[in-house]
Structure 1
Amino acid sequence: MPKPLHPLRIGNFRAYWLSRFAGTLGISAQAIILGWQVYGIARQTMDIRHAAFLLGMMGAAQFVPLFLLTPVVGLIADSVDRRWIVRCTTALLTVVAAMLGILTRMDLLGLPALFGAAVFVGVARAFSGPAYSALAPNLVPRESLPTAIAISSIAWQVGTIAGPSIGGLLYAIHPDFAYATISVLLAVALATMFAIGPVPQPPTQADRKPLARILDGFSYVRRNRLVLATITLDLFAVLLAGATSLLPIYARDILHVGAGGLGILAAGMGMGAATTAIWFSFRPMARDVGVKMLVAVIVFGVAILTFGLSTWLPLSLAALIVAGGADMVSVYVRSSLIQLHTPDSMRGRVSAVSQLTISASNELGEAESGLMASLLGPVGAVVFGGVSAIAITIAWARLFPELRLARTFDPPDMPDRSTAMETV
């Protein structure tokens, strides 16, 4: 069998990759600045536990609009040109970044503005997430999709690595410089999205009512137990074991490393994830994908547990790097299974369901971390999360034998392509 075409040899995918990279770089730089600003303002009048709770509420502010819009955005991603959805949402994110920069410069930035910005970011991500995910398979041949997912993840992970460090450094130089750079990066993401030429559109389903089409996505996930297992495992593991929202607390009050150390910690998981994604771009996973995902989530839980107990920056950073690498294995397996097991006509709606669970595990996980930190303290909250992730994985291995027995990414009715792919 001939070797699959490398995705970066396709012009539309190159533009897609650059758009995702620039956008992720800008958003992750902005996120670390927003967290630092919220925590800094809160600590002026609150103790550490109340400030931690407020910091966690930033995640809830992004999750609520995404939760409310999920039933609609998946249908839109399957009905409207996906390129235009991403273009419009990227434009909104660019405006939000510019407004935050103006308010910061005028010394008018307060908690209401920061939480309002979080809501707008949540709205933009609600629409762009399913469209972005569903667009990638339209840009490459099916046999190139696992490699495309890995390369696309590199864009996201490298942006996650560099973004917090760049954001912290630029903010230390001057807040105006930081927000101006973020706005430019988002503008680049918008321009490169316009560079993507026409792509195939899924067939319309005019004979079905919109509500029935919306429910199709949830029904498909419920019926496909392998897809359901991967989505829900990631949901509960990261929901309980997410520690990124508490990084400002660790940097300021536990490790005592300040804003510079915060940037280092924030880049830790991205460093591990990007390294793993680069590996997969050259050596795509082919065999025993389900078992590898289960092992990876257990490693993730152990790494988060180690981070929670550490009071030494090098060990904390190493734990986050390992956690990021393990999480990338889970992301790679989940994304590949969802995209390859889902018909193109339903990818937007299934991706919307997947995004809802991802956002629940990330943004709602931030709220959960803030709440648990207010009850148990930040160290207790992170330790609880790491132990919970390990327990959830063991339970899922028994509840969903389909995941444990999944050998390749191919659906049951597809030929086994593992012999044509390199194993890891």
Structure 2
Amino acid sequence: MRYGLAVPLLGILLLGAHTLRTGDVWLTSFVVTIFCLALTRQGWARLVTAAVLFGASLLWVRTGISLVHMRMMMGQDWLRLAAIMGGVSLFSLTGAGMLLSAPARARYMRHAATAVPQAAAFMVCALLLLVSRDQATRVTLLLSDRFFPGSGMLQIVLMSIYAAVVCGLLLDNRKARRVRAATWAFFSAVFFGQLALGLAGVERLLMTGTLHMPVPALVIAGPLFRGDGFFMLILFSVSVLLVGPAWCSHLCYIGAWDDRLSRVRKGAPAPLPAWAGTVRAGIAVTVFGTALGLRLAGASLGLALALAAAFGLAGVAVMMACSSRAGTMAHCSAFCPLGLAGNLLSAVSPWRLRINDRCTRCGACTRVCRYNALAPCQVEKGRPALSCSLCRDCTTVCAHGAMELTFFRASPAFSKRLFVVLVSSLHAVFLAVARI
């Protein structure tokens, strides 16, 4: 593959020359980044480069048709141009094919076992960010575009690389638990760091000029009170549909705090009282009922914000007083109304965590579950409690392969890969766009 790599690389350089000729420096930076990826030995980079070259071949065809049509309208010769553009398109397509060959697979040997899901995470993240950027008409969605107009393509490729890396790490059972906690905490730090800097005067770090209180329950309570502003509710619902209740273990900006505080206690998490679930249901009914009641009563926005702030502070108090002592995420499992909504809505999601007959009741899963979902009685039933957030910590420590994440009738191995692709892609997308 030493000389065979020249064709794919030259194909990428031709694409870069084309984008530079159009004057789009930032799109050229996207292509340069892909070129650099092609020089690595990462298995997923090979597939991503092949996909870009395939897209380039279609771009050359489209450009060729446009130029040929223009020459025909002007009465000029077009056959030579058509042959040249067709040849360039075929060259790019050949480069893509070469990257899919056996010699190429031998060269790109690093993390070859996870190459397909990592490449999928890259492309899903890139697609979601491209669509979001294109459809966002009211605000400039990506931070890079706000500070350096037009640079969004560079941010998209960098975030997509990040998604691919995170995907590979989450697929490694030896690293998945630590990586999930670290990336989740990183997302929360970026989210609130941007909020703090925005309030300090860097207004471009805020999504809009309207400040929203970062309390998860307001994702539902806010629209109930206002009667509008359904963006976050729609985002939450779509996320639950895609990855079930994993919103609570990967994507919630406040949940990461509860996770951190629950790790203060050393040893296995302590189970919450049997009435914890009933309390959470009561809190949810109270919060959502109050929001709707305030709207019907014509209450002021100031009163609603004061109550929301008090509820948010109460949640932090629960984390500090209960989660840190029990080692169980009491806020997420027994307090947060949005978490309960996610657990209930997950009934329409195809994801399920099941305990098969290989289970020996060793208790390893119970000792790592921070969501109070795998008490011994639940293990006996063969399924986790309602509070399960699909964090997958239990699947990474089960030495018998008894903990299975399933997606319809797909195999557990395929289900695991698909889930990690989706959750790592959404994590990277949220990291790029989730701001207040």
TM over 0.5: no
Larger radius of gyration, structure 1 or 2?
2
State the TM-score, normalized to the length of structure 1: 0.30
Query: Higher relative CO (CA 8 A, sep ≥ 6), structure 1 or 2?
Result: 1
- Give me the TM-score of the superposition, normalised by structure 2: 0.29
